[in-house]
Structure 1
Amino acid sequence: MDLDPDLAALRPLAGFFVLRTEGASAGPLPTLAQAYAPVAPDVSANPLIFRVRKVATALRAPELRVAASLTHQGLAARLWSIALGCAALYGRVPDLDSRLLRWDADGSAPDDLFLTDVRPLPGDAATLADVVLHGHLIPLAAALHARHHLAPGLLRGNAASALAGAARELDRWARRHGRTDVAARARALTSELLAHPLLTGAGNLDGTAFRRRSCCLYYRVPGGGVCGDCCFTRPPRSSPRAASG
């Protein structure tokens, strides 16, 4: 199935999977490429810095690095959901070049993204890795590591967890609607992607269940606890930095 200009097949999945396209007005919103760029002297103009501070305030995070990790996880979940959803439903994926994606950093979760031009690409795992990992998660991780000193293992775990979470939601939707073909494609792509050098070793996948080997630091948010795929079974009492490696 060819990609349609509105990516309408994603709409029934809702949530993290939906992507606004050229038919919607993104106005003066910045691109994700601008968010990943080295910080200019006027840090208030950087949408990534703005988003981290917004998340920190909303969750009453005890330090910005916790909010930075959750910001990273949220964007990773959005990007993987869109790419994996398109690949499983259409057999194609739109070019998600960071210069084509506009981001409302002041929006609510899930992150509000607008794609200004739908350019179809193959829907294989290598293309998804190029589009999401190389096109977004590497520069995003570099930007957050430089400013907030997030550990590479934490960022790799966030990326893998976000992919596994997208696959799990897609599998649930596909099974409810009798789309076993979609579920099978999503599982196959996810398994191949988790074996990518940038994600391998981040956790263990068993069917659609994933257990990561790092922690996103959500337990440090007041009332947060641990996530369903966390390496911990209960919030640790040790130094918060011990969970980020």
Structure 2
Amino acid sequence: MSAPAPPPVGPGPGAVIEEITALGPFFALEAHGPAEPASSAAGGPGWQPVSAPLLADRVTAVRRWLADAGGQPAEAVELRVAASVAHLGLAARLVSPALAAAVLFGRPLLFTLSQVRWQPVLGGPAPLSLPTGALGEPRPGAESLAGLLATGLVSGALEELASCFERFGVSRHILRGNTASAVNGAAVTLGRTRPQHASRTSVFAASLLASPPLDGESATDAAGVFRRRSCCLIYRAAPGAQGALCGDCALR
């Protein structure tokens, strides 16, 4: 009698990262080792930790960009508006690859905010690098994996990120609404890009949105339309605070 065949081996971390990166700029990521200095993480120049000074610079740059778009001086855009917009973009960068790893490969992608390396450039999603050990082994149950993401990522790095932005005058309610919006946006993009996994994507996203601290920050109506229960404030960046509302805004 021949020996039973060994269980199939899933793709290695490099292949997982490559496939996730192929999903688009909000999913793209590189990896860096624990001993690599911030300036050379992921083998490229300009990689930095997510520090308070860099986040302040980011808010200032986003404020200037929003003001220029409306033909206004930077002071015309409230600091909290720029901070909320900056936070939403970074939250989307952190949650998107983690959701993709869970949905496509059944693997947790977990990290602390201090382990993240990024390039704080404007003009698109910021380049992102995560530690090589952030990608865990495959988990057999979707429910346990979703719970792990809820406690390890949503209540972990994403709450850490929200805490960094509170000092700019943005309420935690708005920041958690931003995180919920980022989760939904990542799920929508992933479901469209990999339609064969749309149902699994929806299950993971719904689980994260129903878990603390995001429970109660959003709702889905009878037509299946996602709506957050706060506003990211970007409409206030337009002259006279008369900008358009986002599709998932509570003010709609």
TM-score (norm 2): 0.78
| Superposed displacement of residue 2, structure 1 | 4.3
Q: 1:107-165, CA deviations, whole angstroms, 9 ceiling, x for partnerless residues?
A: 432121112424432561122123322332212212211x2121121111111111011
Looking at structure 2, the residues matched to 138 and 125 of structure 1 have their Cα atoms a distance apart, in angstroms, of: 17
> Within 1, Cα distance between the matches of 2:126 and 2:98?
15
- Indicate if the aligned counterparts of 1:167 and 1:208 stay in contact, CA closer than 8 A: no
Greater radius of gyration (CA) = 2
In 2, distance between residues paired with 1:24 and 1:140? Answer: 21
Q: Report whether the alignment pairs 1:221 with 2:228.
A: no
- 1:158 matches 2:206: no
1:91 has 2:109 as partner: no
Q: Structure 2 residue aligned with 1:9, among 19, 22, 26?
A: 19
Aligned length: 216
**Which aligned pairs between 1:125-204 and structure 2 lie closer than 5 A?**
125-145=146-166, 147-175=167-195, 179=196, 182-204=197-219
- Percentage of matched positions with identical amino acids: 38
Partner of 2:45: 27
Counterpart residue type for residue 160 of structure 1: A
Q: CA deviation at 1:3?
A: 4.6
Between stretches 156-165 and 10-19, larger displacement belongs to 10-19
Worse-superposed segment, 18-27 or 158-167: 18-27
Gaps of 5+ in 2: 1-9, 33-40, 68-73, 140-144
Q: 2:81: which partner in 1? A: 66
Q: CA deviation at 1:15?
A: 2.0
Q: Per the alignment, in what secondary structure is the counterpart of residue 204 of structure 1?
A: strand
For residues 168-223 of structure 1, what are the alpha-carbon distances to aligned partners after superposition, in whole Å with 9 as ceiling and x for unaligned? Answer: 11111112xxx2xx222211111111111201111113586311111000101227
Matches of 2:135 and 2:25, distance apart in 1: 22
Relative to structure 2, which stretch is displaced further, 149-158 or 217-226? 217-226
Distance, in Å, in 2 between the alignment partners of 1:3 and 1:184 is: 25
Residue 133 (structure 2) pairs with residue 113 (structure 1): no
Match of 1:79 in 2: 94
Q: Does the C-alpha gap of structure 1 residues 47 and 24 become closer, same or farther in structure 2, counting only changes over 3 Å?
A: same
Cα distance, 1:3–1:93 mapped onto 2, change above 3 Å: farther
Question: What is the aligned-residue RMSD (CA, Å)?
Answer: 2.2
Q: TM-score, normalized by length of structure 1?
A: 0.80
Distance in 1 (CA, whole Å) between partners of 2:80 and 2:134 is: 35
Runs of 4+ in structure 1 over 6 Å off: none
